[in-house]
Structure 1
């Protein structure tokens, strides 16, 4: 999978011309803003807060894997066509380029296309970029490499007629690791896990109808075992059902999970199996070509444990090669560091993979050069991962939907965690997930500590707050938990609240426990009690500064917008 991934469809000249025509039609008044929205979203173009003429481009990164050429192209696009300074990594392994002026959209899309990069169907009511476990193909603990199946499915679905005007977005993810879920399989419309059947056949367990947002639902297994030869027909049947039965009148209830909810799991399964038979009988040779899986032996990961030179580095299943995880603070990476990464991967033959936690995993590094590579990474300004990880959405710095400035909070938490780490030298793994609104782009519901931006009326005025959730995440047994809501905390006191929670977890955790187990053993009330003076504070405790959001140096109306549909 090194070099430029194949196939990475470029945006066609006609698609770029269509965007250019839509821009001119909007500027001349020939089409309405709503019609412009309809045309731009399928091309991965969203408005942002920098002004009425500024947009973000969401670039699809198939498999989350970026070649040296792609890294340089992303850096150059950000510098040449946008506000510059870098890009943002998303939880779907896409890349956001912020601040592109309307008149420069055509040029930016053309420049990306020359390198084989596309924004097509990164947004809108389409099949979104397929998420793939970042450890696929290199993990010593995987069942088999899911990469070829995700790649084949993604290539077939891009521009597929079924995926152009769905009732709502449609999300797919793949993972092959034993006893772990790095792709959020249960929170997708389709979550595909590599398994081996009781009679020894490699294939998949497919979970369907999951989703986050204001009404979260964990996906349920479609059947005990889906053979490789039926993967495409299963997905096509699901898309046909969704296209036919999804609610096109109420976007708030338009996802696949609501179709399954109306029918019930058993009726939904029967409908899907019937539709799959129809797909297979009408086009027996349909679907992309997929290879037979090669099952790995499932080596003990402890035998592949890391390198002293870099926290989190591990020996791959391929002898002599190691993988280095990089922490990308706030999910933001500068153009300079993108170019440095391109130079390093080109020189070493490594591959860069965007992770679902807004980091980067460098694979295929020669173990013999481990120490020198670690030194080079530090020289380029890349830090190793921390035990406490933060994932965030864009928040109101750029997003026109969010309620709070998530980036400002995440930056303060990064500082707080670094200070605690330097002070105590010990912290157990904790996943912090932050969203600026109920849409949940920061996956707050599946964070061990989850924070969702809300507005609370205090003394007749709206003040920025975060609803605290505890105990979310995927479990090793394949189940999922959504974080329980604990209460609202004023935005400026969230860093203090998180510090208390982390200290309590460190003090009370028994060796070998994960956060979920500690929470379950102690009970949520124990953690809520440690925050009693911060949760739902009385109005008399609020000062003028509590009505301004984090990162805002001058007064502004809060909230800037109310959370609503995606732009």
Structure 2
């Protein structure tokens, strides 16, 4: 099948979780999430085993882990798609609302694991998502653009409220601050704290009001442009008007805490693991608490209650250090599969991981293969975002991003010079990068051939 024909067929219904793969063929990809009502961050060992079997029988024998708790399977022939969907349903998995114009995973941090959690983020997210899940009123064509909502159980903001349409953050006093209007892409917007010190029963109304105002405005570029249009005060008034007509959210049931001794983190290669590796992780999970955690990093986490023995690459962390992932590399799928991507982010991610290991650097690096910013490079301590200039692929370089704020653009370099950029940055005091010491970093990067500093 010609790619143009695939695009016309699948692009309008991406909210169903099925999308085209690059090239003139009948291959498609499936983006999968937990079925309606399930904890989006908790995947059972049986589900992982089932995904491996599907990937080996129908796909490319690999599994891709996203930054919103989803899993993607690639290389599936269109004629086998219904067989795959039936097998997913039998596992309690569901592609719908994982892509396109829909309300995506209401993504909580795994508060049941973290001793610092002030609230049960999972129960809150499940309560909010019930309004949106499988609801045509919040899918294309009723919804003009996707809406992303997250819940952070403490002020660390591990669920990255700075780039969310709605970023809910628990406070120490049991109330919540809500950030609105964030987003990445061609025009990255940093969210603003629009609601302070609100009670839990108002959270659902705020989430609904953002989706409803987006629909009313018919804004196809996302809610960040609604906020840009009206400004902070007017946007808040418009949202409050909608919230007043929404019944208060009922109290959530607390999720049982898991007192894991340690957590094993299994890194991926640009989000990818071979099905054999995933199968081994599934067996490790089965021997412990029976599940893995898929949050918003491209790592698979297994809470442990016994000693771990495996030949797989992993990192052991104390639950108190949850969210403090060092030396992490995150990327989109790149031009191996994604039509708009212009670089092979998988190769770049593996190259960066190698450099960080060699230099013993704790930097977190995020890589996007095009301006869509699926690798969330704007919030990386170091972010590389691919673009074309004068017919050559370039990487725009960002520094100092975090859960709450966008990084600063310091310049750009030829894409094939990414390794030299990472070696320079990994030699710098990490605090200088996190604090965005732009002048010093620009001076050091000027030694990399083709580097041009930002004019902003």
TM-score (norm 2): 0.89
> 1 CA distance for matches of 2:105 and 2:295?
13
Question: How far does residue 400 in structure 1 lie from its aligned partner after superposition?
Answer: 0.5
> 2 CA distance for matches of 1:410 and 1:318?
32
| Alignment gaps of 5+ in structure 1 | 1-25, 295-315, 422-426, 475-479, 539-567
> 1 CA distance for matches of 2:340 and 2:369?
8
Q: Counterpart in 2 of 1:78?
A: 55
> 1 CA distance for matches of 2:422 and 2:333?
20
> 2 CA distance for matches of 1:482 and 1:237?
25
Question: How far does residue 50 in structure 1 lie from its aligned partner after superposition?
Answer: 4.9
CA distance 1:230–1:482, shift in 2 (3 Å): closer
Q: Counterpart in 1 of 2:320?
A: none
> 2 CA distance for matches of 1:417 and 1:259?
40
1:162 touches 1:239 (CA, 8 Å); kept in 2?
no
1:394 touches 1:406 (CA, 8 Å); kept in 2?
yes
> 2 CA distance for matches of 1:456 and 1:264?
33
CA distance 1:149–1:34, shift in 2 (3 Å): same
1:212 touches 1:440 (CA, 8 Å); kept in 2?
yes
Q: Counterpart in 1 of 2:319?
A: none
Question: How far does residue 204 in structure 1 lie from its aligned partner after superposition?
Answer: 2.2
Question: How far does residue 188 in structure 1 lie from its aligned partner after superposition?
Answer: 0.6
Q: Counterpart in 1 of 2:16?
A: 43
2:331 touches 2:346 (CA, 8 Å); kept in 1?
yes
CA distance 1:526–1:214, shift in 2 (3 Å): same
1:59 touches 1:118 (CA, 8 Å); kept in 2?
yes
Q: Counterpart in 2 of 1:63?
A: 40
Question: How far does residue 319 in structure 1 lie from its aligned partner after superposition?
Answer: 5.0
Question: How far does residue 465 in structure 1 lie from its aligned partner after superposition?
Answer: 2.1
Match of 2:287, SS state, is helix
Instruction: Report how many aligned residue pairs link the two structures.
Output: 437
> 1 CA distance for matches of 2:175 and 2:51?
36
Q: Counterpart in 2 of 1:225?
A: 197
Deviations 1:294-316 (A, max 9, x none): 9xxxxxxxxxxxxxxxxxxxxx9
Q: Counterpart in 2 of 1:430?
A: 363
Q: Counterpart in 2 of 1:502?
A: 426
In the alignment, which of 157, 160, 165 is matched to residue 189 of structure 1? 165
> 1 CA distance for matches of 2:447 and 2:262?
47
> 1 CA distance for matches of 2:377 and 2:209?
31
1:81 touches 1:107 (CA, 8 Å); kept in 2?
no
1:246 touches 1:259 (CA, 8 Å); kept in 2?
no
Is 2:233 the partner of 1:272?
no
Q: Counterpart in 1 of 2:286?
A: 346
CA distance 1:321–1:514, shift in 2 (3 Å): farther
In the alignment, which of 346, 353, 356 is matched to residue 417 of structure 1? 356
2:7 touches 2:20 (CA, 8 Å); kept in 1?
no
Structure 1 residues 442-521: aligned runs within 5 Å: 442-457=375-390, 462-474=391-403, 480-505=404-429, 513=431, 515-517=433-435, 519=436
> 1 CA distance for matches of 2:258 and 2:67?
27
CA distance 1:145–1:44, shift in 2 (3 Å): same
| Alignment gaps of 5+ in structure 2 | 317-324
1:50 touches 1:99 (CA, 8 Å); kept in 2?
no
> 1 CA distance for matches of 2:342 and 2:259?
48
Question: How far does residue 318 in structure 1 lie from its aligned partner after superposition?
Answer: 5.3
In the alignment, which of 346, 362, 372 is matched to residue 439 of structure 1? 372
Question: How far does residue 271 in structure 1 lie from its aligned partner after superposition?
Answer: 1.1
Question: How far does residue 72 in structure 1 lie from its aligned partner after superposition?
Answer: 1.0
Deviations 1:72-97 (A, max 9, x none): 1111111111122x211111111110
Question: How far does residue 39 in structure 1 lie from its aligned partner after superposition?
Answer: 5.5
> 2 CA distance for matches of 1:383 and 1:443?
23
Q: Counterpart in 1 of 2:321?
A: none
Match of 1:108, SS state, is helix
CA distance 1:272–1:51, shift in 2 (3 Å): same
Question: How far does residue 59 in structure 1 lie from its aligned partner after superposition?
Answer: 0.4
Q: Counterpart in 2 of 1:334?
A: 274
Question: How far does residue 156 in structure 1 lie from its aligned partner after superposition?
Answer: 3.4
Q: C-alpha root-mean-square deviation of aligned residues, in Å?
A: 2.5
CA distance 1:448–1:362, shift in 2 (3 Å): same
> 1 CA distance for matches of 2:326 and 2:286?
29
Question: How far does residue 388 in structure 1 lie from its aligned partner after superposition?
Answer: 1.6
2:112 touches 2:258 (CA, 8 Å); kept in 1?
no
Q: Counterpart in 2 of 1:531?
A: 445
2:113 touches 2:260 (CA, 8 Å); kept in 1?
no
Question: How far does residue 212 in structure 1 lie from its aligned partner after superposition?
Answer: 1.1
CA distance 1:483–1:319, shift in 2 (3 Å): closer
Q: Counterpart in 2 of 1:87?
A: 63
CA distance 1:145–1:358, shift in 2 (3 Å): same
Match of 1:409, SS state, is helix
In the alignment, which of 221, 227, 245 is matched to residue 260 of structure 1? 227
In the alignment, which of 251, 256, 267 is matched to residue 290 of structure 1? 251
Question: How far does residue 492 in structure 1 lie from its aligned partner after superposition?
Answer: 2.3
> 1 CA distance for matches of 2:354 and 2:113?
32
Question: How far does residue 196 in structure 1 lie from its aligned partner after superposition?
Answer: 4.5
1:56 touches 1:98 (CA, 8 Å); kept in 2?
yes
Question: How far does residue 317 in structure 1 lie from its aligned partner after superposition?
Answer: 7.3
Question: How far does residue 455 in structure 1 lie from its aligned partner after superposition?
Answer: 2.2
User: Which stretch shifts more, 65-74 or 160-169?
Assistant: 160-169
Match of 2:447, SS state, is coil
TM-score (norm 1): 0.72
Deviations 1:87-117 (A, max 9, x none): 1111111111011111111111111111111
In the alignment, which of 242, 246, 251 is matched to residue 218 of structure 2? 246
> 1 CA distance for matches of 2:399 and 2:354?
21
1:328 touches 1:382 (CA, 8 Å); kept in 2?
no
> 1 CA distance for matches of 2:204 and 2:339?
36
